[in-house]
Structure 1
Amino acid sequence: MSKEMGAVAVFGAIIVVAVIMLLLERRGMAKRKAARGGRDIDVSNLIAFGSAAGEGEKTRTPH
């Protein structure tokens, strides 16, 4: 096998691994969204308000 074919094989393997990781991450995102009841969480709210934003409690006042 020439150097060029080796390079093509290595880069091809990298691309295949990247596509597999992308698909696994998308599947994981779908599972996490389903676990939240299908609603999206704004990441900026999580940074500003913590996990209470994910639970929809950022505007509630403690009693």
Structure 2
Amino acid sequence: MSKEAMAIVVFGAILCVALVMFVLERRGVAARRAARGGREVDVSDLIAFGSAAGDANRNRAED
């Protein structure tokens, strides 16, 4: 196998792994969103205010 063919195989494998990781991440995001009942929780709020930010967003959505 030539060097060019080997490079194509290696980069193809890297691309396949990247696509699989992307799909798994999107499925994880969807699962976490479903667990929160479809609510969006801003990560910056969680960093600044802890889990109380998630509670505040849930209470605001119910009003």
Q: TM-score, normalised by structure 2?
A: 0.84
| In structure 1, C-alpha distance between the alignment counterparts of 2:24 and 2:17, rounded to whole Å | 11
Aligned partner of 1:46 in structure 2 is: 46
Show structure 1 runs of 5+ residues with no match. Answer: 58-63
CA-CA distance at 1:2 after TM superposition: 0.3
Count of aligned positions: 57
Structure 2, unmatched stretches of 5+, are: 58-63
1:14 counterpart = 2:14: yes
Tell me by how many angstroms 1:55 deviates: 2.3
Q: What TM-score does the superposition give when structure 1 sets the normalisation length?
A: 0.84
Q: What is the aligned-residue identity percentage? A: 67
Distance 1:35 1:7 in 2: 42
CA RMSD of aligned residues (A): 1.1
Q: What amino acid sits opposite 1:34 in the alignment?
A: A
Higher relative contact order (CA 8 A, sep 6+): 2
After TM superposition, what 4+ stretches of structure 1 lie above 4 angstroms from structure 2? none
